[in-house]
Structures are given as C-alpha cells and as structure tokens.
Amino acid sequence: MDALVRLDDVRKSFGATRAVDGVCASVPVGRVTGLVGADGAGKTTLLRLMAGLLAPDGGTVSASDALGYMPQRFGLYEDLTVAENLSLYADLRGLAPAEQGDTFARLLSFSGLAGFETRLAGKLSGGMKQKLGLACALVATPRLLLLDEPSVGVDPVSRRELWRMVHELADQGVAVVWSTAYLDEAERCHSVLLLDQGRLIYDGPPKDLTQRMRGRSFAVRGIMDRRVVQAAARRHVGVADALIQGAAVRLVLAEGAAVPAAAELGAPQAVVEPVAPRFEDAFIALLDRHGGPVPALPEIVHHPRPRGGAVVEARDLVRRFGDFTAVDHVGFDVAPGEIFGLLGPNGAGKSTTFRMLCGLMEPSSGVARVAGIDLASAAPEAKQRLGYMSQKFSLYPDLSVRQNLDFFAGVYGLSGARRKAVCGAMLDVFALGPMADTNAGQLPLGFKQRLALAAAILHGPDILFLDEPTSGVDPLVRREFWGHINTLAGDGVAVLVTTHFLDEAEYCDRIGIVYRGRLIAVGSPEEIKASARNPEQPDPTLEDAFIALVEACDREERS
Amino acid sequence: MIRLRRLWALVRKEMVQIVRDPSSIVIALVLPVVLLLLFGYGVSLDARHVAVAVVVPEPTQRTASLVTAFANSPYFEVEELRDRRPAEDGLVSGRYRGVVVVADDFDAQASRGLDAPIQVLLDGTDANTARLVKGYAEGVWAKWLGYEARDRGAALAVPVNAETRVWFNEALESRNFLVPGLIAINMTLVGTILTALVVAREWERGTMEAMIATPVGRLELLAGKVIPYFVLGMGGMALSVAIALILFQVPMRGSFWVLTVVSALFLVGALNLGLLISTVAKNQFVAGQIAIVAAFLPAFMLSGFVFEPSSMPLWIEALSHIVAARYFVTCLQTIFMAGDVWSVILPNAGALLLIALVLALVTLKRTRKSLE
C-alpha cells in the first residue's frame, strides 16, 4: 500500500526525556490512522516530526509535502474572520486565486460554517473553531492530514461530526493521522499507532488488539453496591481490571484466569456475563504496569463520616457576566457518600457553578451552601471541612513534593507528629516517596495530579470538590484516582466532580448535564441513558444520551 | 525566496489584526501621545512656584525690598518668617524647597556698602530642584544688589554669577530638547516592544506553529512582520512630529526628508531587535520584560534623552554606544533644533544603518522554521 509517511527508528529527546524512542511505522493513504496514547506518551512530538516542525535526533522521517497540519489550538487567528482565516491559509499554501472561490464554498459547506464567513474566529464555539481549523488545513487539498488532538475541548456532537468529516476525507484518498488520548476514539480509526512513553507498543487495526482480549471481558450485573463489588474484584487475583460502568461493574480478567464466581465478588445474587471487549481493556492489559496493592489512606483521611441530609446544596444559582448568563438557575444536592458528576462541554458553565459552590465566586442570585453554611459569606470552619482540587496545577512548583504536602498540612492546622505522619502516609499512598525531594514543577503530569489530590485530601475533608481531576493522566492513574475517590465516598465523603470523560461519568452515583448554563438533566447514569432509549437506540451509551439531550435542548431553543 | 502573494497575505493579515486588536493601536499610537503630553506639559527641567521661606529676623525697608524681589520672581512662592526654626522645620518636612536667611546685620552691612549676605538652605533630596532654586535665588539676589547699587549711585563689588543665566535659558528650551528625545522613545516602543509582543502572541496562541507548517519561508515570515509595523511606526512618528510642531511649537530647522530617512533607519533596527527578542521569548510576558530591559530602558537612560551620556561613568558611557537610540536622539535634536548639520547627521545615521544591518542579519540567522 502507498505510504505517505515512513518512520524508521525515529528518536527525539528533550533534555533527559525521550519523547519519541525508536518508532518505526508508516501511514497509508485513504485511511484514518490513530496516534493513541496518554498525555506525555509522545504523540505531539511524533506529529511535529511528521510535519517537519522538529528534526529527529536519530532515524529518518519521510513525509509527503502535500500536507495539512492542525496544531492543538487549531492555529486560527482569532482577530480574523472565518473567511479571512481561510483566505490567509489559501494564499500561504499557494492556492490559485481563481480556485479560491469554489474551494471556500466547498469547505464551508463541508464544515457546516456556511453563513458564518464574517464571524471572527475568536467568537466561534469550540466545535466550530475546530471545524474551521480543519478547513484551513484542507484548503490546498492535502494528501496527508495531521490533526493534533482535534477533539480536545469539543462537545460530543461536534466530535461526532468531525469523525464523519475525517472518514469522508479518507474515502477520498487522504491519509489522516488523528492523535488522541481518548481510547474510545481509537476504535473509530482504521489503524492505530499506540504509544507509551515514547515507544510504539502496538501498530495495527484496533479490532485486532481488542480481539486479543476476547473471553476476558465480563460485566457483573444485578448488584447492590457497585463499589463493594469493584473493591472485591480489584483484590481478586484473576481480575486485571475492574471498573464501574453505570449500575454494573466491568471486569477484565488476567490472561488465562478463570471467571470469578459472583460470591467471590461479595455479591452472591449477581450475574457475571461476558461482554464485548473494548480497546481500553487491551490497552490496560498491554501496559501492564500494575504495581503491588496501593497502601490504605491514613486514618485522618479514611474514617467513617456521619450520614444524613445533603451537605452540598445549589439552589437556583445564577451567575451573569455582563449580559451573558454563564449559569442559569442551576439547582442540585449532594448527600454524604455520594459522587455527583457535573458533565458538559467546555464553556457550558460547569466551572462557574463549581466556583460558586466553593465560595470562590459570588452568585448573582440563588444560594450555594456547603455543610449548611453559605460559603460566599466566607466561613473558615466550613472551608476546613472542604477539600478542593482545581483544574489547573495549583501547588507551588518551586517547593518539593514533601514541602508542598507539609505546607498544605500546616494550612489546615495539622502540626507536629500528626503532620509528619499524614505527609509520610500520603507519600506512600500516592507513590510519591521516590520523588519526595523533587520540585513539584518538575514532576510528570500524572504525578502532579497525584500530588494535587494528596494535598486536597490530607486534612480529611467531609466534602471534596474535584475540577477535572483526571484530565491529562493516563488510564492507569485514572483508575488509581477513582480507587481513592471511591474509598472516600465509602467513608461518607460527599464528592462533587466535573469531567469531560463520558466514561468517567459512569463512576458517579448521579450526574448533572450542564449545557449553555442550564442543568438539562439530572439522574443516575442509568436513568440518563434510559431517557435516550428508543427503537433506533435500544442500548444507548452515555454519549448517545448526552447528544440526544443536547440536540433536544438546541431544538427547543430554536423553536 | 519571497513570493509576493504569500508576503502580501501575511502583511494583510497583520494589518487586519492591528486594526481589530486595540492593544497594538494603544501601544503604537495612544501611548506615544500620552507620553508626549505627559513629558511636554508635565515634566520640564525648570521650576515654577517653588515654595520658599525667607527668614528676616529684623525687618527694615531694605529687607522688605529684598523680600519683594523674591516674591515678584515667577519661580518662588514666598513666605516671610521672623524665626529660623520654623523655616528649618518646614525644610525638613518638605513644606519649603529652600530657605533664604537674611543676616541679622544685613541692613547695616548693606548700608555700609559692604557685602549684604544671605544664606540659602536647600533641600538636597531633589538635587535638580535644589540646583534650580540655588540658581534662581542667586539670580534674584544679584539683581536686587544691582538695583540697590544703582539706587545709591554706586557700583557694587559683588561678583555676579553669569552661570545662573544658563538655567534661565535652559528652562525656556527644555521642552524643545525633551520632545525630540521622546520621539525616539516612542519609536522604540512601536519598533521593539510591539514586534516582540505580537510574535510572542503568535507563539502563545499556537498560530506560529501553524504558520511554520505552511510553505512560508523565514524571510517572508520576517518581512511579513517588519513591513506592517514599519508602516505603523512611521505613522506613530508622523503623529509625534505633528504634536511636537503644532502643540509644543518645537522648531524644525532641518529638512523633513532627512528626518524621514533617519527615522526609517532607526525603526528598521528597532523592529529587528523586537524580532530577535521574539526568537528567544515565546510568551508575551517574558517578551515584554526583555524588550523593556533591552530596548526601552536603554533608550530612556542611555540615549541622552534626559541624561547626558558624557556625564556618565566611563563604562556606562561606553555601553551607550551600542544603544541605537543614542544616535537617533542626537540626530533628532540636531534636525529639530540646529538643522541639517551633516557633520553630525552622517556619522550618526551611519551608526544607525550599521546597527540595523547587524540586527537584521542576526535575526535572519536566528529564525528557524522549526519549533526548537
């Protein structure tokens, strides 16, 4: 088959980090090739090598000159209109002026941007920006299209459209490289290059990798307490991975292991039935970085809390910025021991809602109460009971891991032997011991997130606010995270979490879907999914349900 | 190689951005006007209405005439005191910038035709004002002595310090001297800071990465920045010159074409310095900091705009020779106040050309079509 990119033993290092470590691969025409891996796996570096933006330290890269490249932030000029961006890239890529009119018309209708020609790129939504970025990359009809994480920050509806567009291009003979950290996207590619720590660990159709897992994926259904079953499954020797999925627990068995009996999983009445394997199952099995059992959280963090009524209350919350309503009459409760997820595209109002609840921002109207106290009126004792992990890394980059923990313990009033004990325990639990004296700013992303979670919970809060806690960490660290979060929820901690990973929303007891500032649905993942069930979609995924809800909301808006 | 259509596309893009993004207009056109107005009206090297205490322990007709002489001076706001103590306290607290103490036997000495001594106490914390007050006070006193002597029909043997007159002349012209210097500062702002910032902004927003991935060459990339900001810079220059000539009535003794050529040379150098900075600094904050330290502060301090380089320590003066603004300020002051003095303009313009060429070459060499 004709290859538009050939990589032969390509190496690239930045300082001591081997970003790309001996990759051999090729990209065929007429296919969508997924460049899949966790953050920091080397995807962007490899793409930039293909685009000629970086020179390899070793090996050879040969790629077609007729390439279109869309960087992570789309490369759009926000002060320029849609049409001006297109014509800039057309001129730069040498598209003859006579052809521009037809090409623009075709690209605009292809990307659904017709009618928006005079809008500034900066005023487009995330999904529209991305389509414009794609259109700009396509302007000189490239034979090779390189897309760097095109689906980040884009709502599921736009994401679906983008996949349709990309497959259409592949059918026309374009070689598309799509880099992504979302493992569910890998399954939509014809072929996958799977990267881990700069090395290529799999090259081939995603199905072939998934098929290796046949007979190893199971679902445990009909259970009372999902977290008890998950915890039991995790302890079971034959189980490589156990994940909550709505009301069920999904198991991936270790190679050659027998199917565990329901009783062994602490749920004698449950049914263990085989399910189709997913790409993620194979990915986890392939990475095989399972360490020993994770040490338990220290007693100050891990202890039972009183149960009872709601501890987080949002009542009719409204927040306006000028004449823009970011949060529009949002209301929900979170009870002790409950994990409540706020789900929605970027800019929907999740973070604003979150900030009002944490007392970081005053609502325009409505009430935000935590532990019965209105946080806007600043009550330090309420904040003492609250743990907060922000989306951005908010620790001190120039302090070491140990100093950061020590500082946050001090801030929350822990002193002497207690402080020492807690910090020591956190280093153990989060496997930060070996890098205790490294400056926090120097840590790899996954470890930064671990440290951030450790700092947010070390004072044993009763209420935990997590803003996109797992963005940018690999699936293994995400599992570890959720293990801790589940433990805390089991202790009676109320957890409010925002996420844009739809599969993560499945771990929540209840989710609220935020769209254009409004809470358009609240319920358990099963209830949300059920709401989208129809003859066409007998078994909708959470993403299907999400899209159905958002589309219904848009229809309502229009009429 | 430069392809005109690509270059034009880049230039047009930049122009549209300049028009749509108010921050570049603010830096290029509003800031220079504000600086000009601020320095033109607010800052001048002369002092007027300086609060001064005159201590007269024993008032007589003669002392009264001296106090009147001080009070009539436009430079002083006079308060007459009997006692020295409150005057000194006032000097300490900053109420007075100077204290003139008339001797107890002033009248007696003056009538005997001897010296008529006064003592001037100055607040040295502001050395410039102190020097001015000293000069003015000496001037008033000398003048008064002259009148006094004439009244008595006798020449007075007091040496009149002719140097004090320099301050007066200077005060009248300080604006003429400051405004051309300011124009150089404005050009530095537009040239260096603006280009450094706009390129850093492209790195920050990820558009530079997309640019590099297109077939655009580095010469086109650089020219695509230099051309629009050259036009903007010359616009800022024209605006500054118009304000200088119309609002501040600065004389224009040289010719406009010399002014244009010299400004163009300086601006090309400044633009290239900005581009050079942007090859190192890839976010706007760092780019701004470096541009201020590498271009704005030297232009302010070492160009001779306010502080004369020849009165600086030797090594700092040596340093000022690599500051392009120094040559530009000299050219501007000459063109505005003296005319087309070729013996001054040619060597300075030559230095500007050399600096511009060196910076352009280094920038071209340092610019890579790569992310490293």
Residue B321 lies in a domain: yes
CATH number at residue B60: 3.40.1710.10
Residue B166 lies in a domain: no
Q: Are A68 and A214 in contact (CB under 8 A)?
A: no
Report which of A38, A463, A501 is spatially closest to residue A245, judged by C-alpha positions.
Answer: A501
Interface probe for B, chosen from A70, A92, A146, A152 (most Cβ of B below 10 Å), is: A92
B213 touches chain A (CB under 8 A): yes
Sort strands A217-221 and A248-253 into parallel, antiparallel or unpaired.
antiparallel
Q: Looking at CA atoms only, how far is residue B203 from chain A in angstroms?
A: 10
Residue that has been written with the tokens 């900001």 in this structure: B229
Regarding whether B277 and B134 lie in a shared domain, the answer is no
Q: Are A199 and A21 in contact (CB under 8 A)?
A: yes
Sequence-distant (6+) residues with CB within 8 A of A36 are: A43, A179, A180, A181, A183, A185, A186, A189, A192, A193, A194, A195, A283
Residue B371 lies in a domain: no
Q: Which residues of A touch B210 (CB under 8 A)?
A: 69-71, 74-76, 136
Residues facing residue A194 across a β-bridge: A36, A202
Q: Looking at CA atoms only, how far is residue B20 from chain A in angstroms?
A: 6
- Look at chain B and count its residues: 372
Q: Which residues of B touch A72 (CB under 8 A)?
A: 206
Q: Which residues of A touch B5 (CB under 8 A)?
A: 91, 94
CB contact under 8 A, B207 and A88: no
Q: Which residues of A touch B3 (CB under 8 A)?
A: 94
Q: Which residues of B touch A71 (CB under 8 A)?
A: 206, 209-210, 213
Regarding whether B193 and B112 lie in a shared domain, the answer is no
Give span(s): CATH 3.40.50.300, chain A.
3-206, 312-395+446-523
Q: Is the dihedral of CA A146, A152, A154, A156 positive or negative?
A: positive
Sort strands A324-334 and A248-253 into parallel, antiparallel or unpaired.
unpaired
Q: Which residues of A touch B1 (CB under 8 A)?
A: none
Domain residues for B125? 50-161
Helix/strand/coil for B171: helix
Q: Which residues of A touch B371 (CB under 8 A)?
A: 48, 53-54
Task: Give the mean pLDDT of B352-356.
Answer: 95
* Nearest CB neighbour to B206, from listed A73, A92, A136: A73
Q: Which residues of A touch B213 (CB under 8 A)?
A: 51-53, 67, 69, 71, 75
pLDDT in the model for residue B166: 37
Q: Which of B133, B161, B189 is the last residue of a domain?
A: B161
Angstrom distances, CA of residue B231 to CA of A410, B7, B20: 57, 15, 16
Six-digit token string for A537: 């979609």
pLDDT in the model for residue B165: 38
pLDDT along chain A (559 residues), means of 10: 85 85 91 87 90 90 88 87 93 88 88 87 82 89 90 76 90 92 87 91 92 88 84 83 84 85 84 89 76 72 85 90 87 93 82 84 87 72 83 84 93 88 90 87 82 91 88 77 88 89 85 90 91 85 87 83
Alpha-carbon dihedral A475, A481, A482, A483, rounded to 10 degrees: 110
Angstrom distances, CA of residue B169 to CA of A459, B60, B74, B126: 73, 34, 15, 21
Looking at the predicted structure, is the pLDDT value of residue B327 above 70?
yes
Q: Other CB atoms closer than 10 Å to residue A453's CB: what's the count?
A: 24
Nearest CA in chain A to B216: A92
Residues facing residue A374 across a β-bridge: A369
Residue B19 lies in a domain: yes
B310 touches chain A (CB under 8 A): no
Q: Looking at CA atoms only, how far is residue A173 from chain B in angstroms?
A: 21
* Nearest CB neighbour to B16, from listed A72, A84, A94: A84
Regarding whether B134 and B179 lie in a shared domain, the answer is no
Q: Tens digit of pLDDT for each residue in B25-57?
A: 888 888 888 888 887 777 665 667 788 888 888
Q: Are A135 and A167 in contact (CB under 8 A)?
A: no
Regarding whether B38 and B83 lie in a shared domain, the answer is no
Regarding whether B135 and B10 lie in a shared domain, the answer is no
Residues facing residue A467 across a β-bridge: A498
Six-digit token string for B127: 């050395």
CB contact under 8 A, B8 and A91: yes
Q: Which fold has domain A312-395+446-523?
A: Rossmann fold (3.40.50)
Distance (Å, rounded) from C-alpha B53 to C-alpha B55?
6
Q: Which of B103, B135, B161 is the last residue of a domain?
A: B161
Report which of B277, B271, B268, B275 is spatially closest to residue B354, judged by C-alpha positions.
Answer: B268
Sequence-distant (6+) residues with CB within 8 A of B23 are: none
CB contact under 8 A, B209 and A71: yes
Q: Are A386 and A370 in contact (CB under 8 A)?
A: yes
Q: Which residues of B touch A55 (CB under 8 A)?
A: 370, 372
CB contact under 8 A, A70 and B210: yes
* Nearest CB neighbour to A69, from listed B9, B10, B210: B210
CB contact under 8 A, A92 and B9: yes
Regarding whether B291 and B351 lie in a shared domain, the answer is yes
Percent of chain B with pLDDT over 70: 91
Q: Which residues of B touch A87 (CB under 8 A)?
A: 9
Q: Other CB atoms closer than 10 Å to residue B61's CB: what's the count?
A: 7
Q: Which residues of A touch B207 (CB under 8 A)?
A: 75-77
Interface probe for A, chosen from B8, B24, B214 (most Cβ of A below 10 Å), is: B214
Regarding whether B224 and B152 lie in a shared domain, the answer is no
CB contact under 8 A, A136 and B17: no
Report which of A165, A140, A139 is spatially closest to residue A150, judged by C-alpha positions.
Answer: A165
Q: What is the DSSP letter of B97?
A: S
DSSP A162-231: HHHHHHHHHHTT-EEEEEES-HHHHTTSSEEEEEETTEEEEEE-HHHHHHTTTT-EEEEES-S-HHHHHH
Report which of A351, B42, A72, B9 is spatially closest to residue B17, judged by C-alpha positions.
Answer: B9
* Nearest CB neighbour to A88, from listed B9, B213, B371: B9
Regarding whether B194 and B150 lie in a shared domain, the answer is no
B212 touches chain A (CB under 8 A): yes
Q: Which of B109, B136, B161 is the last residue of a domain?
A: B161
Sort strands A463-467 and A494-499 into parallel, antiparallel or unpaired.
parallel
Nearest CA in chain B to A88: B9
Distance (Å, rounded) from C-alpha A26 to C-alpha A4?
7
Interface probe for B, chosen from A47, A87, A91, A136 (most Cβ of B below 10 Å), is: A91
* Nearest CB neighbour to A77, from listed B6, B13, B214: B13
Q: Looking at CA atoms only, how far is residue A441 from chain B in angstroms?
A: 18
Residue A494 phi/psi, 5° resolution? -85, 130
Six-digit token string for A516: 């254009």
Regarding whether B20 and B145 lie in a shared domain, the answer is no
Q: Are B367 and B281 in contact (CB under 8 A)?
A: no
Nearest CA in chain A to B23: A79
* Nearest CB neighbour to A53, from listed B5, B207, B370: B370
Task: Give the mean pLDDT of B85-112.
Answer: 83
Residue B167 lies in a domain: no
pLDDT in the model for residue B161: 39
DSSP A441-464: GGS-HHHHHHHHHHHHHTT--SEE
Q: Are B218 and B2 in contact (CB under 8 A)?
A: no
Interface of chain A against chain B, CB under 8 Å? Answer: 48, 51-55, 67, 69-80, 84, 87-89, 91-94, 120, 136
* Nearest CB neighbour to B13, from listed A69, A72, A88: A88
Residue B168 lies in a domain: no
Q: Tens digit of pLDDT for each residue in B108-148?
A: 777 776 667 788 888 877 777 788 788 888 888 888 877 87
Q: Which residues of B touch A100 (CB under 8 A)?
A: none
pLDDT in the model for residue B265: 95
Q: Tens digit of pLDDT for each residue in B162-210?
A: 344 333 334 456 677 778 888 888 888 878 988 899 889 888 888 888 8
CB contact under 8 A, B205 and A73: yes
CB contact under 8 A, B9 and A94: no
Regarding whether B96 and B18 lie in a shared domain, the answer is no
B72 touches chain A (CB under 8 A): no
Helix/strand/coil for B76: strand
Domains held by chain B: number: 2
Looking at the predicted structure, is the pLDDT value of residue B159 above 50?
no
CB contact under 8 A, A71 and B17: no
Q: Tens digit of pLDDT for each residue in A18-32?
A: 889 999 999 999 999
Q: Looking at CA atoms only, how far is residue A530 from chain B in angstroms?
A: 41
Q: Are A63 and A4 in contact (CB under 8 A)?
A: yes
CB contact under 8 A, A53 and B212: yes
Regarding whether B347 and B210 lie in a shared domain, the answer is yes
CB contact under 8 A, A92 and B214: yes
Regarding whether B294 and B178 lie in a shared domain, the answer is yes
Homologous superfamily (CATH) for A3-206 = P-loop containing nucleotide triphosphate hydrolases (3.40.50.300)
Residue B313 lies in a domain: yes
Is 3.40.50 the CATH number for A212-287?
no
Residues facing residue A218 across a β-bridge: A251, A274
Q: Are A487 and A302 in contact (CB under 8 A)?
A: yes
Nearest CA in chain A to B6: A92
CB contact under 8 A, B13 and A73: no
Interface probe for A, chosen from B4, B13, B25 (most Cβ of A below 10 Å), is: B13
Q: Looking at CA atoms only, how far is residue B290 from chain A in angstroms?
A: 23
- Look at chain A and count its residues: 559
Q: Tens digit of pLDDT for each residue in B212-238?
A: 888 888 889 899 999 999 998 888 889
Give span(s): CATH 3.30.70, chain A.
212-287
Element housing A373 (H / E) = strand A373-374
Q: Which residues of A touch B368 (CB under 8 A)?
A: none
Q: Looking at CA atoms only, how far is residue B371 from chain A in angstroms?
A: 6
Distance (Å, rounded) from C-alpha A113 to C-alpha A515?
21
